[in-house]
Structure 1
Amino acid sequence: MSEKIQESAVQHPAVSVIMPVLNEERHLRHAVEAILQQEYAGEMEVVVALGPSSDRTDEIAAQLVAETASNEWGRVKTVPNPTGRTPAALNAAIKASKHPIVVRVDGHGMLSANYIATAVRLLEETGAMNVGGLMFAEGENDWEHAVAAAMTSKIGVGNAAFHTGGEAQRAETVYLGVFRREALEQQGGYNEEFIRAQDWELNFRIREAGGLIWFSPELKVSYRPRPSVKALAKQYKDYGRWRHVVARYHEGSINLRYLAPPTAVCAIAAGAVVGALLTPWGFVVPGGYLAAIVAGSVPAGKGLPLKARAQIPVALATMHMSWGWGFLTSPRSLAKKVIASRRPAVLKQA
């Protein structure tokens, strides 16, 4: 190998992009095209892990495989994920991939044009084992615009850097992630008992083993929000349910931001009961919450159409109440099952 080729391989290492998908007919093609259009000079492959979809996801994936079969750069291939679970899909895709840098992308996420090149540079500059950036929510209709505004506002998600932005810094976890393969292989991949929060759990083990997790606002992934109130409520109920599992799994990982939604649910429920049975003053609590999210939706919805702005309070309430209810009703039995599957961090051999 010539010095020029060796230098190019160091600067532009080969990359495997892994993507778990389930019922993603609406966004899959666009997500894969955003990968294939990356401004990156290194070799690249795309591995799509197919869950048991009930829509045209498998058909679209087959088309992408056929269309890229003759590519020297950016070939798409698929692997089965019969369980439909995200961590199982990720592990199957990792196993089927081959390159030293592994980029995780979801079927409804669109990478910015220089995402991979920037991530590879950051891995080199920081020495991190995993880097990630902004989950940049963008809608395609009035409801999705409202959800996107809620998901990128502090009243919606607090001070979470990967939602609202912030300075480049060491992090506990990051959105999606661009990994050194050695870190994934060293830790044995994702813990498949974590149906949600599997990123946090894997990054926890990487950190325990001495690896650096790095957040940078230079990295941005456009994210398509859930298309209905019902779907958003399920998503955030699952988030809250699994955040409580994480809190039980790892004592000390909880903070005030995570306790705010369950506290709000309890306070609003108590206020409504007091208001209905004892005194109208009890309604001050739910009324105050409603006033707060209506007021908070004004700056969050700046620049959006009126129909979208009007739905932001609905999106905020759905997120807060569903997350809080999921946290409060998360069963101890689920946490015990997950704790029983605990994998100790694997330290790098000297």
Structure 2
Amino acid sequence: MTETVTEASSGHPIEWPAPTSQRAWPSISVVMPVLNESRHLAESVGEILAQHYLGELELIIALGPSRDDTDRVARELAASDSRVKLVRNPTGKTPAGLNVGVLAASHEIVARVDGHGILLPGYLERAVCLLESTGAANVGGLMLAVGVTGFEQAVAQAYRSPVGLGGGSFHVGGVEGPADSVYLGVFRREVLQRLGGFNEHYQRAQDWELNHRIRQAGELVWFSPDLAVTYRPRSSWVELARQFYATGRWRREVIRQYPDTICARYLAPPLVVCAILLGAAAGLAAATVGVPALLWGWLAPVAYGLGVLGASVLQSRDLGWRARAWFPAVLATIHLSWGAGFLFGRRPGGRGR
């Protein structure tokens, strides 16, 4: 027996299973790879264990070689709750930790959660309902970026903005339905095993790459805005620049392996970096060789700077003054670090670009 519920965020009826007292819920293994996550780990684990899910639940934490107190915090959490299991991930790489966790999982549904992700109430129950009602191999939703400091709030707003990370539904929201990729994900374990799990070559973008293989295998990836996970953004400018330099580098690797996935959104940051570098070089050459026409080269960096300032005014209106002050620098850092990583980052496992 099912009941029809209309979800406000999706605007159309969804067939949810009968009330919890009238059904048996499948067991879930939550897999969490962690590295240097002592700041957020206890909160993240606490929210997972506090999910009001009536089926059996286990949490497998794959411990990388952290340099902070992550291992101590994890041991204390495991000692306080028998549902928490610890496994080792010697490489510390995210896809390796995910695969180690999946191998240790006892159940047929596997949910991925990161060490700084916070599940909203009802997340696991809704995910299971969607797996059953859609027949999808993976369901997921929004990366709900939330910052504390002014800088973090600016980063979170850039994540959610079309002028920041672009128009992906798991960043900016969208209508429920089939998707190319989703944030994190709740999987059928059988599909993970059949496709060989996460590709450990991809230190970044391994979720996108796996979802691409899932769709190539004829399976369904399903997005729902009702499935949201709170994400804690980077807390310093240096960390943000490093993150997006690596993101651009790995996006180029994805396009190299899957050239049919290339699109304007992925090419925009490297094209901006090229325009700025060429324009600045032309402008400097004008002063050196005395060719006035080359002064037009400054148009590219100036136009980009004005564009960032204009977009910042529009996109940061709801932020506090500290976050508004940071927003132009955050936006430019995301664009230019991503583009520089795409253009100049060393090819993973290789000696050249």
TM over 0.5: yes
The structure-2 alpha-carbon separation of the partners of 1:164 and 1:230, relative to structure 1 and needing over 3 Å to count, comes to same
Provide the residue aligned with 1:281 in structure 2.
296
1:226-285 CA distance string (max 9 Å, x none): 111111111111111111111110121110000000000000111111122224332221
Partner of 2:225: 217
**1:65 and 2:73 are equivalent in the alignment:** no
Q: CA shift at 1:102, angstroms? A: 0.5
Q: Which residue of 1 aligns with 2:244?
A: 236
Q: Deviations over 1:293-350 (max 9, x none)?
A: 111112322222101111011111111001101111244574899xxxxxxxxxxxxx
Whether 1:124 aligns to 2:132 is yes
Partner of 1:13: 26
The whole-number CA distance in structure 1 between the counterparts of 2:67 and 2:142 is: 30
**Deviation at residue 50 of structure 1 after TM alignment:** 0.3
CA contact (8 A) 1:245 1:335 kept: no
Q: Which residue of 2 aligns with 1:327?
A: 342
Q: Is there any run of 5+ residues in structure 1 with no aligned partner, and where?
A: 70-74, 338-350
Q: Which residue of 2 aligns with 1:252?
A: 260
Aligned twin of 1:88: 96
Matched-pair contact (CA < 8 Å) for 2:141–2:182: yes
User: Corresponding residue for 2:189?
Assistant: 181
Quick one: which of 291, 301, 313 aligns to 2:328?
313
- Identify the residue that residue 135 of structure 1 maps to in structure 2: 143
Q: 279-288 or 236-245: which moved more? A: 279-288
User: CA 1:333–1:234 in 2, change beyond 3 Å: closer, same or farther?
Assistant: closer
Q: Which runs of 4+ in 1 moved over 6 A?
A: 4-7
- How far does residue 197 in structure 1 lie from its aligned partner after superposition? 1.3
CA distance, structure 1, for counterparts of residue 199 and residue 165 of structure 2? 26
Partners in 2 of 1:5 and 1:276 — Cα distance? 69
Residue of 146, 168, 171 corresponding to 1:160: 168
Aligned-pair CA distance for 1:5 = 11
2:318 maps to which residue? 303
Q: Which of the residues 41, 46, 49 maps onto 1:36?
A: 49
What's the secondary structure of 2:65's corresponding residue? Answer: coil
| 1:45 equivalent among 58, 61, 69 | 58
Q: Which runs of no fewer than 5 residues in structure 2 stay unpaired?
A: 1-18, 287-293
Residue pair 2:20, 2:54 contacting (<8 A) in 1 also: no
Q: Which residue of 2 aligns with 1:348?
A: none
- Letter of the aligned partner of 2:59 in structure 1? V
The answer (yes or no) to whether the contact 2:282–2:297 under 8 Å persists in 1 is yes
How far did 1:103 drift?
0.4
Q: Is the 8 A contact 1:265 1:325 kept in 2?
A: yes
Rounded Cα–Cα distance in structure 1 between residues aligned with 2:301 and 2:144:
30
CA contact (8 A) 2:143 2:230 kept: yes
From 70, 76, 84, give the equivalent of 2:84.
76
Match of 1:169 in 2: 177
Q: Look up the SS of the partner of 2:233 in the other structure.
A: coil
Q: Which deviates more, 26-35 or 166-175? A: 166-175
CA contact (8 A) 2:245 2:345 kept: no
Query: What RMSD, in angstroms, separates the aligned Cα atoms of the two structures?
Result: 1.9
Give, as a single letter, the amino acid of the residue that structure 1 aligns with 2:149.
N
1:125 Cα deviation from its structure 2 partner? 1.2
Give the SS at the match of 2:23: helix
What is the rounded CA distance, in whole Å, between the counterparts of 1:331 and 1:137 in structure 2? Answer: 29
8 Å CA contact 2:249–2:347 kept in 1: the answer is no
Give the conservation status (yes or no) of the 8 Å contact 2:110–2:189: yes
Instruction: Calculate the TM-score normalised by the size of structure 1.
Output: 0.90
Q: Is the 8 A contact 2:117 2:230 kept in 1?
A: yes
- Alignment partner of 1:100 is 2:108: yes
